[in-house]
Structure 1
Amino acid sequence: MKLTSIKLCNFRSFYGTTPEMLLAGGDAQNTTIIHGNNGSGKTSLLNAFTWVLYDKFSAAFASIEQLVNKRAIAEAQKGQTVECWVEIGWEHEGKRYRVKRACRGYKNEGDFDA
């Protein structure tokens, strides 16, 4: 299996909808390196893949309530739905696949304001 792309919407540290990030392509052997400063979203990307494929998270991920981006929740009106989703693409044995997992968050009376 070769992961080829990922797109996120309000997932963890990723606010709004990201452009599709292409990870690998063509027939050549590819290596994708993800690097960045602390807090830039590397572990969020790992959790995005494991959430979509296995419905699991890394040990550092405290709870499912932390899934939806905090800024998106803060900017929502009380009771408003906030979409959160991850879509990945991959290739396996010459076939291409895409899968998307989504959830919704809601801003309640007790949630913080921006």
Structure 2
Amino acid sequence: MGYIIFYIIVVILYIVLRCGRSDTSTQIFFGVKWSDWEKKKEPDDPEKYGWLARKLHESNVRGAERSRRRKEELRQMKEHNAQLREVIRLQKEEKRKKKEEALRQRKEQK
């Protein structure tokens, strides 16, 4: 029973939103015409469109900034990991050389 009511509500909302696309109340609420909104997801000048377009633009700008920051942090982490690997490699090589030197000295003493 609940599914039927949910389906009816969804159909009614679809009809209302679909038929009311050129309605002035929709235009006032969203600040843009639906046809313009569908053509242009992120306007070049969000100020001349409605508040929803401005919010979308601001959200996209923040998302791009977050993405750029994450990429920069990832690059720095990779660089740091590479430096640590290099330090570990040098330490292992130094340890190996010390062992070889100690073995050579033992052989010379015998």
**TM-score with structure 2 setting the length:** 0.19
Higher helix share: 2
Mark the structure with the bigger radius of gyration.
2
**TM-score with structure 1 setting the length:** 0.19
